[in-house]
Amino acid sequence: MTDTAKKQTVQRPVAASPELQRLDVFLGTWRSEGPAFGEGKSNETIRASSTLMKLEETVEWLPGGFFLSRRWDGVVGENAFRGLEIVGYDDASGSYSSRFFDDQGNCPVYRVTEHEGAWTYAGDAQRATFKVDEDGAGVDVNWEWLKDGTDWRPLCALKSVRLQMEGARRPEQTHEMGAGR
């Protein structure tokens, strides 16, 4: 069997579902900045113990166009903060989910919902709202953390501004199939 016969490229025109298309609002390169409140650990007056948080984020579709990747590189005060988020939509359950991986070893999972331009992330110990500006050029981000299992406290309040949209389009959905598949 020739190499050509062993491997062939099959294009399957998979139209992105409306649910996946909704995630396009996050595509691009972003700069986020705002207060982080005592890194979520303070018992002081929370907002008085804030420090500046700055992030550069790149959001793009992974090959195939079924999962969104968000990579960030930033600082909280003088401490580096880097990570990756993967967001997707599960047709079987009819829901979005997100998983974060950061340079502190955290890897929380969030249930994600959208209603009228506001995205809500709900996890066991943190939650967030992402309110997209009408023109899509900015997002107000507010994270909270759960203290003692009952008291939600502010974690950070960021304003994200889109710096660039170029190159942030949905990838072609092609699949290579090899022999025996």
pTM metric for this prediction: 0.80
In the chain, the percentage of residues whose pLDDT exceeds 70 is 77
Long-range Cβ pairs for the range 46-52 (8 Å, 24+): 46/153, 46/154, 47/154, 51/76, 51/77, 52/76, 52/77
What is the band of 100 on the pLDDT scale with cuts at 50, 70, 90? very high
pLDDT at position 171 is 62
Contact in structure between 119 and 127 (CB atoms under 8 Å)? no
Name the token pair of 48: 């008085």
* Stretch 87-116: mean pLDDT: 96
Total domains, the chain:
1
Domain residues for the domain of 47 are 13-164
Flag whether 58 is in a domain.
yes
Flag whether 63 is in a domain.
yes
List pLDDT tens digits, range 137-164: 999 999 999 988 888 999 999 999 999 9
Phi-psi group of 25: left, alpha or beta (phi > 0 → left; psi -120 to 50 → alpha; rest → beta): alpha
* Stretch 87-97: mean pLDDT: 95
123: CATH? 2.40.128.20
Flag whether 2 is in a domain.
no
User: In this model, does residue 127 exceed pLDDT 60?
Assistant: yes
pLDDT at position 13 is 35
Flag whether 123 is in a domain.
yes
DSSP 14: -
Count of other CB atoms within 10 angstroms of residue 18: 8
Flag whether 66 is in a domain.
yes
User: In this model, does residue 179 exceed pLDDT 90?
Assistant: no
